[in-house]
Structure 1
Amino acid sequence: MDFTTLELRYVGGLGKGKGMAYSMKADQMPDPDANPGFGGAVRMQLSSDALFTWLALTPDKFWVNLNPDQPNKVMDARFGRTDAGRVLLEADLEMKRDFSEAVNPDKHAGAKVYWDTAPRRDGMPCFPGVRMWIEPKPAQVREQDGGIYILDAPLKVSTQWLDVDYTVPGSTECKDLSDAEKKAIERSVAANVMPLVEERVNTDPDYADLRAVYTARVAAEYIRQQDAKKATDFRAIIDSDDVSAWPLRDPHQDWTREQVWNRYMDSIKKGIEWFELKYGGKVYNQGVGGVDFSKQPKRNIPEAQFVAQNRDLDTTTANSRKSDDTSYRDLDTLYLGAGPADGGSDEDPGGDPSPRPTPTPSDTGRPSDPPSSPAPDPTGPGDDGATPPPGNRPDPDGGLADTGSDTPVGLLIGLAAVLAAAGGALTWWMRRRRTASGDR
């Protein structure tokens, strides 16, 4: 089993004294004899801790923010003491690195289209001073058999113009852009650059942890909904604001949001991806240097579609809770799971496992209508009693649309979830001018 692909894909069997049944999906290793999978305990620990983090903290805390104008508003203090929070902030920074590479015109045709068509000043194209954030597309789910099947949980990378006061020393910026020019830059970046970044977020191993904690977020919202209807074993955990049982784990136990902030600012000053721009007889040496989970939309698919597209998944999921691993339809996909017997269990679903595993380090988009929370203005990182960011104002219920087992529920635009870099996730730039003859 390729444990780097392990994600929670079913939860159910909820009720007082019943704990929870679950099933997780992972790909098979192409050659397990020569290259066996490892790290399963670490991946399962991450998904488990993330699930309980999403339950324990209120949704207004599920954001991160890297903005050079807001060093004291990186993320909520409690969220910053969890691996779920760590994963979101690291993914935000990783996305900026990927954007830096994706906008290199020497590597990508879309990037060249952007530079060739961007608004200009003195003959040179203006760089895109935009923020980016990752947000969920509607997760496809099926609610039946006393639980929820998470069939697909895609992510989207969005962008929007962002004015900031911070200026990289020595850079040349287009400070007099009109609103129309800013909108044109937004559209061009979204069309020519972001598709590549979005593909990486959804497929690249560097974002595997992000995808794992997001599917746990979908599952957590289902548990919240069910507990609101009838008490489950999770009631004392939900909205308790106590995440002490699910802390940052080895080897990340000393991780801090300030470390990421410092790396971010260092990248702004030094640049990441360097390339030349040649326009109007001049040459420029160009350098390019938040995650919010407050809501989570889903679309419940009808039974006929579930059966047609996911044949035998219900049986495979049920079997995965009884055997070590279960193959799905002879594909290179495995399911494994667990859960209490039908008679229930007195086990506490929370807490710190014992013995604790020793993990190995893992590698470290906006809808057509404006997202519900693209620009939080959160309280400072030292404020343990953080209130909902004024610019964010998330749905206190977590934004998971009501679903039924028989009727598909379409995405409600108002529930669009802003997942990453919600507050001023700035793309950073340095531009150094030199003459065509090579003078810097």
Structure 2
Amino acid sequence: MRIPTHSRWRRLAALSGAALIAFVSGVPGALAAPTPTPPPFIDANGVHLFVPPGASLDTDQQLEAASSQLLQSPMGRRLVAARMRFGVRPGNVSVEWFDFSWLQGEKPFPGFQVDAFHNDMLNALRAANSAFDIKGEYSIAAKSVDYADNKQIYAELGAKQAGKLLEVSTSNVFQGTHSEQIPLDRIRAAGPLSLQRMSKGISDAAAKSLTESILAKSSVGLASENSPCLNKCDKQTQDFQRRLAIAHYGKGGSPDSKASVAASQNVMGKAAPKLRREMSRKSEQERREAVGLKPDCDTGVAGRSGEGGGGRGVVMAAALRRQAPCSSEGGSSSGGLAEALASQDTGGIDFSTLEMRYLSDNPGSGGLQYSFSAKAAAPGLQQDIDAGLDLLTTSIEDLRAWLVLEPTKFWVNLNPNEPGRIVDADLGQTNAGRALLEADLQMKRTEGKLLDPETDFGARYWKALSGPSGKGCYSSRLWIVPGDVQVREEGGSLYILKASLAVNAKAEHIAGLPQSCDPDPESDARNERLEQTTVVPKVVEAVNTAPEYAPLRRAFLARIVAQWIRKRHQEGHPTSFDKLIDSGDLGPAKLQGDWRPRQVFDDYVHSIESGEFTYKQTTEEGDTVVTSTMVFGGVDFSKLNTNPVSAEQMNSLYPRLPQTVKASKDHPASAPDGSIWLGETAASPGSSLWSRTSDAVGDFAASRTGVMVMLVVALVVVTFGIRSGSGRKRQPS
């Protein structure tokens, strides 16, 4: 898919704004709004509309007025930010707010805890989609919103300052569950479980009824692109105390619904760039101040008209070359990575497959050189360039994390009886730790899907496991470890030729859980062999190939590079990373959003308690047989063995790879196996250089020069500096 040049640079420029949106509300204060002006029309359902039914938006002035009014509302601004977050997709976006603080004075039963209920609902809203029986494809994100940094939204919703709002944004696709219903359905599923954990005496029916009562009184706000549709979700959402939408949807499939979608898309098309520019200007000014650039400094580079986007590239070039902050001398890279990203068609490359496979470190002479491999883009592939750029930076942040932390910390553990030993405290603050934890949970779900007795594979497995009785229960420890790693070292250069992950399985039992089994050594040994020979190979295949494990694979590649750097350092070779190794200074590798490791643990425990790994099947005689599996374990990267490959072997297995990597430093280069290599070079930094560029990594420039320079600087800035806490706010998964 070819993208016009002006659209390409607008999308590249959007990264500086998009990177700030860790959640719908973005950086505290970034979505601050003046006193809201209420929409001029309220429909029969009490929904405030920015475009009344039948209103014409034929002129640019009318669209401009509607979009400006939308951004005057704090709820409307959150809605626009949600659309920016979820991107262009054929469905509706909505944002909802819940406030459970009123329960502080009206506890429904002894032992009820408002904070615990709030946190349980937050975890349920953040859980994987597979944990809920909700029709259709959708995306969802949730967070707690405190009063201090969100006064405008509290005022518009009429929420109490002493409370704590729960904010959730959702994007669905057409023909699926309505976006407004999805958070409600999740709370209805999770609420009774939370209440029953607090009070063992409450019945299922009472817990469901109480959840409905709490939900009705706690639904304080709903913002939607299209107002809740008639005959579908209007009754479901009528309890929200304040509702607004861009346009009235009406009955699905009607002319009104089509007009509503068109109007909301047109208004959003105007509002999103406005908000993005506003956020970009704010972050640009903060970054200029951080690098010592005066607000009125003339950078000498033309930005986009009216967007305040010029000059970022020059500031970075000045930092790179130690020029004066207001120097007009730019700089650019012509490497393969920059060329591919700047290409109108993204160079025909699938950026979701980027992996760091080469690094050369020769301080004092050749500096740093690195190259990523990728696959060619499939015909018609629509890519998110922002996500591609974020992926590159994340790989480099992972490298820093593996360098500054000791290898003994490189593990995660999901055991429902060990909530205090989920992940090392330092690793749990990094994207690398997050990738390991989320992959561990995903592995359990991968195996769970394989063992579903409704599938041919699952039916054969349970038949072999259960034997003549037809009943089976098995508990095991399943964990991911480094597999076959083949590398080629040539002086100060490293080629990663193969980096596979392995999965270990061992029969183990955890007492006190619903899926616990009575230990039987003979059965355990037999079932362990069955799992190792039938299930594990399929899990290994998924871990090494499935897209949901791509973050883990990228983190693993960075782990291999980090070990090679450590090895050279220990052997006495000077490296550009000597001061970082085992320093504990996470710097920009430290996550700045509100993600916490406990969220993954709670998601896992919720899956166990909700019976995600328990299956029911009916025999020919009409009996119901319950089969369950319980898997725990983790990921352990603390030990890594690499297998050196000779030049002859590398040339035989990977013909002309050195020549391909060398060429990639100038332009995208194709290898005989069809992979595409994208390289860049960067000088090793001095300490004074990076002390002035602490906020540069997350702010990609609007101009071509800025993008090129940023790509060169990215590895060095993220890896070497800056100060702790300067990392970007990470978007949640």
Quick check: TM above 0.5? yes
Please report how far the alpha carbon of residue 262 of structure 1 lies from its aligned counterpart in structure 2 after TM superposition: 1.0
> Separation in 2 of the partners of 1:219 and 1:355?
21
Residue 484 of structure 2 is aligned to residue 138 of structure 1: yes
Equivalent of residue 236 in structure 1, options 579, 602, 605: 579
Residue 545 of structure 2 is aligned to residue 203 of structure 1: yes
Please report how far the alpha carbon of residue 279 of structure 1 lies from its aligned counterpart in structure 2 after TM superposition: 6.5
SS of residue in 2 equivalent to 1:128: strand
Q: Which amino acid aligns with 1:212?
A: R
CA pair 14-165 structure 1, distance change in 2 beyond 3 A: farther
Q: What TM-score do you get using the length of structure 2 for normalisation? A: 0.45
Equivalent of residue 518 in structure 2, options 175, 186, 203: 175
Cα deviation 1:264-298 (Å, max 9, x = unaligned): 11000012255434579642244557112101121
1:283-294 equivalence runs, <5 A: 283-286=624-627, 290-294=634-638
Structure 2 unaligned blocks of 5 or more: 1-348, 700-727
Residue 511 of structure 2 is aligned to residue 165 of structure 1: yes
- Contact residue 98 and residue 197 of structure 1 kept, 8 A: yes
Q: Which amino acid aligns with 1:116?
A: K
Residue 418 of structure 2 is aligned to residue 70 of structure 1: yes
Please report how far the alpha carbon of residue 62 of structure 1 lies from its aligned counterpart in structure 2 after TM superposition: 0.6
- Contact residue 361 and residue 368 of structure 2 kept, 8 A: yes
- Contact residue 126 and residue 174 of structure 1 kept, 8 A: no
> Separation in 1 of the partners of 2:620 and 2:454?
18
CA pair 17-234 structure 1, distance change in 2 beyond 3 A: farther
> Separation in 2 of the partners of 1:133 and 1:93?
10
CA pair 166-46 structure 1, distance change in 2 beyond 3 A: farther
> Separation in 1 of the partners of 2:444 and 2:694?
33
Q: Which amino acid aligns with 2:564?
A: Y
Structure 1 unaligned blocks of 5 or more: 365-440
Match of 1:263 in 2: 603
Tell which has more relative contact order, 1 or 2 (C-alpha 8 A, sep 6+).
1
Please report how far the alpha carbon of residue 335 of structure 1 lies from its aligned counterpart in structure 2 after TM superposition: 1.0
Equivalent of residue 115 in structure 1, options 437, 443, 462: 462
Q: Which amino acid aligns with 2:625?
A: Y
Match of 2:528 in 1: 186
- Contact residue 316 and residue 326 of structure 1 kept, 8 A: yes
Name the % identity.
32
Q: Which amino acid aligns with 1:320?
A: S
Q: Which amino acid aligns with 1:304?
A: E
Please report how far the alpha carbon of residue 241 of structure 1 lies from its aligned counterpart in structure 2 after TM superposition: 1.6
Residue 496 of structure 2 is aligned to residue 150 of structure 1: yes
Match of 1:339 in 2: 681
CA pair 30-183 structure 1, distance change in 2 beyond 3 A: same
Equivalent of residue 440 in structure 2, options 75, 80, 92: 92
SS of residue in 1 equivalent to 2:474: coil
CA pair 145-240 structure 1, distance change in 2 beyond 3 A: closer
Please report how far the alpha carbon of residue 7 of structure 1 lies from its aligned counterpart in structure 2 after TM superposition: 0.7
Q: Which amino acid aligns with 1:134?
A: I
> Separation in 2 of the partners of 1:355 and 1:52?
14
Please report how far the alpha carbon of residue 74 of structure 1 lies from its aligned counterpart in structure 2 after TM superposition: 0.4
Please report how far the alpha carbon of residue 199 of structure 1 lies from its aligned counterpart in structure 2 after TM superposition: 1.1
Cα deviation 1:218-259 (Å, max 9, x = unaligned): 11111111111223221111011221331115xxx1110111
Q: Which amino acid aligns with 1:128?
A: Y
Match of 2:591 in 1: 248
How large is the Cα RMSD of the aligned pairs? 2.7
> Separation in 1 of the partners of 2:428 and 2:377?
33
- Contact residue 359 and residue 370 of structure 2 kept, 8 A: yes
- Contact residue 28 and residue 332 of structure 1 kept, 8 A: yes
Equivalent of residue 222 in structure 1, options 561, 564, 571: 564
Match of 1:10 in 2: 358
* Equivalences, count: 349
1:293-304 equivalence runs, <5 A: 293-304=637-648
Cα deviation 1:307-351 (Å, max 9, x = unaligned): 11211110111121233x22223x54211122246xx66487998
SS of residue in 2 equivalent to 1:138: strand
> Separation in 2 of the partners of 1:193 and 1:137?
17
